[in-house]
Amino acid sequence: MIYILEKIVVRGGVRLSGEVTVSGAKNAAVAIIPAAILVDGECIIENVPDIRDVQVIVEILEHLGAKVEFVDRHTLKIDSSKVDKQTAPYEMVRKMRASYYLLGALLGRFKKADVALPGGCNFGLRPIDQHLKGFSALGSENTVESGIVRVSAEKLEGASIYLDVVSVGATINIMLVATLAHGTTIIENVAKEPHIVDVANFLNSMGANIKGAGTDVIKINGVERLKGGFYSIIPDQIEAGTFMVAAAATGGDVLVKNVIPKHMESVSAKLEEIGAEVIEYDDSIRVIGNGNLKKVNIKTLPYPGFPTDMQPQIVTLLSICKGTSIVTEGVWESRFQYVGELLRLGANIRVDSQTATVNGVEKLKGAPVTATDLRGGAGMVIAGLIAEGETEISDIKHIDRGYEKMEEKFRQLGADIRRVTCPE
Ligand code: EPZ
């Protein structure tokens, strides 16, 4: 059997220039689409990114009995009124982390769900204890056996929940269950990422009553049903940041369009500290890299701190900045797998547990590398754009999970980048 493998091949040395438009936010879409299960009617969702994770979650919704139609490449029409299954297929669910939102949506609408433990990027343990803590506070009986999470509740009653860990997934999942529960739910110590606010806004546009998303406390007054409606997803903060870092790293001049500058504040501030020029407009940001970039220290933190999902991209940039940068991963227990691939390109980086010490080098030299995970893959593309010669990136399925037509967008900015298929 011959397998056809896809790779991305980049020839470095081009200063990126021109305009690029950001797609809808992946981490909002993979929560909002399952959230549509709560809606007993039809919802129209615009600005959906054309990425693999969306295709997977759409397939799962169809399997559950929802009627899903792509009105166009970026607009989904979902009617969950006929959903008649509460078991998500193991082989589909294991393909992506965000499958855990099916638990919250099915429990919230049908008071029961069977969903396989989530797959997703390998940053060490990816527990869901805070999700389950919230579910049981709302009245659910939870069991985990042979890789399947089973939740069920006689009735769902509002409760006060204090998260031990600031968790994006737990915050959203508990919000999903509380939306149709009886009474009021208060969730404290919640995550405040833009996509949390987006999910709350989506639910409210369908008839929910959620206040405080984006602050430390979210208050949900349960309602009888969600009637359906129309919503447009926010731009992807991490895709925007990826192009901003690539512009600075290549000494380019790029206008990143369809962004919400407020969501980019920590990334913009760091790029200015490094020495790039960042100019904000209403819904776009221009980044100009001027060559003499210098070291900075960074700690990744929950929003509004520097995003962990921008860590591989910024470390790649820092690998060619003068001086020694210290980058501390403050969210995941181990998110430096991609550094081994940067070392193949001549980077000088040492990692011990949560901290990377990045000694800037003159230049990187192209070589074959692997995408270790979604954002590690984005880091490899940036590395290829700045390395001398050719860099071949394999395992790019990780990249396709979360970036829409990444190499096409970079080609529009002048990059010498192409996708090739080769028999394995
Ligand atoms: C979401 O993952 C994102 N994924 C991740 O983005 C992102 O890195 C992460 O949030 C942090 O911003 C999606 O939205 C689909 P968490 P999630 O729950 O929800 C611990 C990408 O690149 N924790 O906020 O799984 C956990 O171990 C992906 O787009 C518990 O201890 O992350 C971690 O250390 C990669 N118990 C920390 O909290 C729990 O029950 C943050 O995790 C849940 C989490």
Pick from 150, 95, 196: which is nearest to 398 by CA? 95
What is the C-alpha to C-alpha distance for residues 336 and 352, in angstroms, rounded to an integer? 9
Pick from 397, 400, 401, 370: which is nearest to 384 by CA? 370
pLDDT of residue 120: 55
Q: Which residue has the least CA distance to atom 22 on ligand 1?
A: 309
Q: Is 129 in the pocket of ligand 1 (CB under 6 A)?
A: yes
Shared-domain flag, residues 37 and 94: yes
**Which one of 214, 232, 250 terminates a domain?**
232
Give 311 Cα–ligand 1 centroid separation in angstroms. 14
Site to probe by mutation for ligand 1, drawn from 23, 27, 353 as the one with most ligand atoms within 8 Å of Cβ, is 27
DSSP state of 139: T
pLDDT of residue 327: 98
What is the C-alpha to C-alpha distance for residues 234 and 197, in angstroms, rounded to an integer? 10
In 233-341, where do the E strands start and end? 253-257, 277-280, 284-288, 298-299, 324-328
How far, in Å, are 21, 96, 122, 384, 423 from residue 5 at the CA level? 28, 20, 21, 19, 6
Site to probe by mutation for ligand 1, drawn from 165, 198, 311 as the one with most ligand atoms within 8 Å of Cβ, is 165
Q: Is 374 in the pocket of ligand 1 (CB under 6 A)?
A: yes
pLDDT of residue 121: 57
Shared-domain flag, residues 16 and 49: no
Take residue 402 and report the two structure tokens written for it. 């979360």
How far, in Å, are 25, 30, 186, 236 from residue 50 at the CA level? 10, 12, 34, 12
Cis peptide before 49 (omega within 30 of 0): no
Shared-domain flag, residues 209 and 239: no
The C-alpha angle 214, 132, 123, rounded to 5 degrees, equals: 75
Domain boundaries, position 218? 26-232
Give 331 Cα–ligand 1 centroid separation in angstroms. 8
Shared-domain flag, residues 256 and 368: yes
Shared-domain flag, residues 19 and 34: no
Q: Is 251 in the pocket of ligand 1 (CB under 6 A)?
A: no
Alpha helices by DSSP H, listed for 323-405, are 339-344, 374-386, 397-402
The distance of Cα 32 from the centroid of its chain, to the nearest Å, equals 13
CATH number of the domain residue 154 falls in: 3.65.10.10
Sheet holding 67-72, edge to edge: 67-72, 75-79, 42-46, 229-232
End-to-end CA distance of the chain: 9
Site to probe by mutation for ligand 1, drawn from 33, 54, 123, 168 as the one with most ligand atoms within 8 Å of Cβ, is 168
**Which one of 205, 232, 259 terminates a domain?**
232
What is the C-alpha to C-alpha distance for residues 341 and 345, in angstroms, rounded to an integer? 7
Take residue 291 and report the two structure tokens written for it. 């060559």
Shared-domain flag, residues 110 and 223: yes
Shared-domain flag, residues 219 and 279: no
Take residue 343 and report the two structure tokens written for it. 């070392």
Shared-domain flag, residues 319 and 371: yes
Shared-domain flag, residues 30 and 170: yes
Pick from 40, 44, 302: which is nearest to 170 by CA? 302
CB atoms within 10 A of CB 147: 10
**Which one of 183, 206, 232 terminates a domain?**
232
Question: Which atom of ligand 1 is closest in space to residue 126's alpha carbon?
Answer: 27
Q: Which residue has the least CA distance to atom 42 on ligand 1?
A: 167
CB atoms within 10 A of CB 249: 28
Give catalytic residues, as residue numbers: 121
Shared-domain flag, residues 269 and 136: no
Q: Which residue has the least CA distance to atom 1 on ligand 1?
A: 168
Phi, psi (deg, nearest 5) at residue 315: -65, -35
Q: Is 372 in the pocket of ligand 1 (CB under 6 A)?
A: no
Compute the Cα dihedral for 335, 340, 343, 348 and give only its sign: positive
pLDDT of residue 4: 76
Q: Is 308 in the pocket of ligand 1 (CB under 6 A)?
A: yes
pTM of the model: 0.97
pLDDT of residue 273: 97
CB 325 within 8 A of CB 297: yes
- CA torsion, points 417, 409, 338, 370, in degrees to nearest 10? -40
Mean pLDDT of each 10-residue bin along the chain, 424 residues long:
86 98 98 97 97 95 97 98 90 82 97 84 79 98 92 98 98 98 98 98 98 98 96 98 98 98 98 98 96 94 98 98 97 95 98 97 97 97 98 96 97 98 80
Q: Which residue has the least CA distance to atom 27 on ligand 1?
A: 126
Number of domains making up the chain: 2
CB atoms within 10 A of CB 127: 12
pLDDT of residue 119: 61
Shared-domain flag, residues 259 and 341: yes
Q: Is 409 in the pocket of ligand 1 (CB under 6 A)?
A: no
Give 27 Cα–ligand 1 centroid separation in angstroms. 10
Q: Is 97 in the pocket of ligand 1 (CB under 6 A)?
A: yes
Q: Which residue has the least CA distance to atom 34 on ligand 1?
A: 332
Burial letters 69-89, b for 16+ CB under 10 A, else e:
eeeeebebebbbeebeebbbe
Shared-domain flag, residues 201 and 77: yes
6 backbone φψ class: left, alpha, beta (φ>0; ψ -120 to 50): beta
